[in-house]
Structure 1
């Protein structure tokens, strides 16, 4: 079911500041930036590493309520999204196996749809269909 790491997303107070800091760390600018309805930066994303995996920073105001509480027993940290071929089916299976919903199926643009759950052990598990993941996989297959 989990095919490979597609995206790691972290919620931050200031995505623009996170983008500037990570651009300095990585030595290049994010390849994608999206503003919110108020014109402020809402999301930035880098493609990093040998497989151009995605690292994104989302404005904390869009965090699921369970992550935004800050309570000691609340799930915390970045959400690592694993690419799955069947998002709805994978989500249903995770829930059947005892996971609890965290973020419902959410489209972030054509080809990028996510959902996340909290596993029975308190860890956040993100799943997604990710056009970039499939594109890179296809490029590898073509060059083999």
Structure 2
């Protein structure tokens, strides 16, 4: 049934500003922009070892019934090599800390959580499992 992660979409009020912020954070330009770069409603980046897709979607296109007053849903944790360094970098770019970096109990596992300036939750994780899967490729 489920075969893997394809795309995560973050809802934003200003796609152009969010795209600029994420471009600075990620160090790559979006590969997909609609309808155009001057008035984007959706932009998408491919990032990381698996070229995972991060989309920034104009909040006007949120699923019916979605309410930003009561956000809910999954927290996507992105594997990073250094949780503290990435957490600090995100804060320097204007993100808000939600959960400081902390170990998860097993050696090598660490986690933290921030909110981007647009209200989306970003999970950070150092995952030995992720590294093992990449080594097996």
- In the superposition, the TM-score normalised over structure 2's length comes to 0.49
Larger relative CO (CA 8 A, sep 6+): 1 or 2?
A: 1
- Bigger proportion of residues as strand: 1
- In the superposition, the TM-score normalised over structure 1's length comes to 0.46
- Bigger proportion of residues as helix: 1
